[in-house]
Amino acid sequence: MATVSRIEWTQHTWNPTTGCTKISPGCRHCYAQIMAKRLQAMGMPGYDNGFGLSLLDNRLEQPLCRRKPTIYFVNSMSDLFHEGIPDRFLDRVFSVIEETPRHIYQILTKRSDRLRRYFAGRTVPKNTWLGVSVEDRKHGVPRIDDLRKVNASVRFISAEPLLEDIGEIDLGGIHWVITGGESGPKARAMKAEWVENIHRQCKRSDVAFFFKQWGGWGADGRRRAKKHNGRAFHGRIWDEMPHYAGGTIVASSTKREVTGVA
């Protein structure tokens, strides 16, 4: 079933597919792989294959059953544009999205080339936010150009885990940037100046900036539990969200409320 999420920038997760394969350095310590193996051991439906790719037809209609306007992160346990997912299944996913304009759907991928090709002959539903992962210069930054070629109401970047200074980037056509450090026992450190570089560019380009977490390494470069490193950057919490055409995202203390989505 779709579940309430602890991810700071969304409300619920919806996983019509589970499982994935690693394609770039940001995947190295994949939280979804660890979680999938745990859920498989618990006998949880949808994880019979562990982290092997699975298409779950029985989950497709879950958002149809929820009347309250909700922000869904689609495929927190997979990549919707994985090469093993056929276009006809993607068509069914986006059909559900179109049938539920009361919801907002956030879709994040590392497979930006597939994203671009899929929407070359299709229209992105207005309630769909499309994003790409940008963990470094070599693999992540080129994905931004693919994203920019897709006509979405909101285009966003997730620079998490941020693995290096990504330099100057073109934020033209980008509405939102999420940054964050890696967590877990093998977390790689994120430096404060890398975040500062992105924050400065967002401010200059009037792009919403969301700082998710320091992760396993604090701003002081010391290793400690994620919860102790916290989410503060420059002495405050950065939970900026993009405005949605036809509606507004209004921040509450921990999650966002969706209003006026049409």
Distance CA 172, CA 153 (A): 14
The CA–CA distances, whole Å, from 172 to 2, 52, 240, 241 equal: 33, 36, 18, 17
- Total-model pTM: 0.92
Tokens of 39: 């859920």
Q: Which helix (H) or strand (E) holds 177?
A: strand 176-180
Residue 24 belongs to domain spanning: 3-259
The pLDDT of 43-69, averaged and rounded, is 96
CA distance 35 to 183: 13
- Report residue 158: phi and psi, to 5°: -110, 105
pLDDT digits 0-9 by tens, 139-192? 999 999 999 999 999 999 999 999 999 999 999 999 999 999 999 999 999 999
- For residue 258, name the pLDDT band (cuts at 50, 70, 90): very low
- Whole-angstrom Cα Rg for the chain: 17
Q: Percent of the chain at pLDDT above 70?
A: 92
Nearest Cα residue to 71 out of 124, 10, 127, 132: 10
Tens digit of each residue's pLDDT (9 = 90 or more) over 70-122: 999 999 999 999 999 999 999 999 999 999 999 999 999 999 999 999 999 99
Give residue 244's pLDDT. Answer: 58
3-class DSSP assignment, residue 147: helix
**pLDDT surpasses 60 at 37:** yes
Q: Which amino acid is at 68?
A: K
- Which of 131-135, 203-207, 246-250 shows the lowest per-residue confidence on average (mean pLDDT)? 246-250
Q: Give residue 54's pLDDT.
A: 97
pLDDT class for 2, splitting at 50, 70, 90? Answer: confident
Q: Could you give the number of structural domains in the chain? A: 1
The DSSP string of 197-236 is: HHHHHHHHHT-EEEEEE-TTB-TTS-B--HHHH-S-BTTB
pLDDT at 253 over 50: no
Percent of the chain with pLDDT over 90: 91
Assign residue 96 the CATH number of its domain.
3.20.20
Asked if residue 257 has pLDDT above 50, the reply is no
pLDDT at 246 over 70: no
